[in-house]
Amino acid sequence: MGTGNGPHRSGRVLELGSEVGASAAVILLHGRHDSPERIAELAPRLGGRSRWFLAPSAAGGSWYPHSFLDPLERNQPWLDSALAAVDDVVERVDRAGLPRSRTALVGFSQGACLALEYLARRPARYGAVIGLIGGLIGPPDHTGRLDGTPVLLACGDNDDHVPLARVRETASALAGMGARVRLEVRPGGAHEIDDTGIAAAAELLDSMTRP
C-alpha cells in the first residue's frame, strides 16, 4: 500500500508526542481546506499525555475534491491516494510496536468521512474510530469484520453538508460489520465540533488504555 504516485504522495505528517513510551497512537485527519495544525489543536482536549498524535497532510488542504455524497469515481484518484496516505501512517504505528487495539482514527468533516471509509475498507479491530461530523463516502456495502471496534459518530441534525440520514446509514453499516457504534446527535447542531462530541471522544480514547 502507501501513497505511491497519487496526489497525496510525500505528504508531511505533524507529530505531537513521541512513539517512545506512548500508551496509544491517535491519527488525526483534518477537514476540507484545512491543515494538520488545525486538527492537532484538538489534541489537548482529547487528553492523555502519553499519547502519540500523528496528523497527515492532504495535498492542497483537501483529501478529495467533491462531496462525499457524489459517485465514487468523481473523487478519484484523490480518494484512493488519501486512503493510501492513511495506510502509511497506520503502518508507521505498526512498526513502532503499538497494536491496532491501541490505535485510533479521529477525523473532522472530510477527515471524518475518510476515517470511516478507511475503517470500512481496511477492517480490523482498532482501539477507536471517531467521526466528528461525517459518514461513509461510498455505498455502504462493505464486507469484513470489525470485531467490536468502538466507533463514535457525533453530528448535529441541522448540518447543510452532512445529512443526518447518511450518518445513521453509516452507523447501521458499521454495526453490521461488527463495530460497537455510538451515535451522538446534537439537536439543532450545524457543521461544527461541539463540547459534547469532544467529551465523548476523549472518553472513548481513554477507554483504549484502561486495564
E strand map for 9-136: 13-16, 24-29, 51-56, 103-108, 128-132
Average pLDDT, the chain: 94
Going by DSSP bridges, is the β-strand pair 150-156/180-186 parallel, antiparallel, or unpaired?
Answer: parallel
Asked if 54 and 22 touch (Cβ cutoff 8 Å), the reply is no
Q: What is the pLDDT of residues 192-209, one digit of tens each?
A: 888 899 999 999 999 998
What cell was used for 32? 476540507
Q: What is the pLDDT of residues 134-156, one digit of tens each?
A: 999 988 889 899 999 999 999 99
Query: Could you tell me the strand order of the sheet in which 24-29 lies?
Result: 13-16, 51-56, 24-29, 103-108, 128-132, 150-156, 180-186
Q: What is the pLDDT of residues 158-181, one digit of tens each?
A: 999 999 999 999 999 999 999 999
pLDDT at 24 over 80: yes
pLDDT band at 111 (very low <50, low <70, confident <90, very high): very high
Over range 73-101, report the average pLDDT: 97
**pLDDT number for residue 10:** 75
Residue among 156, 42, 68 at smallest CA distance from 120: 68
**pLDDT number for residue 1:** 47
13-208 belongs to which homologous superfamily?
Alpha/Beta hydrolase fold, catalytic domain (3.40.50.1820)
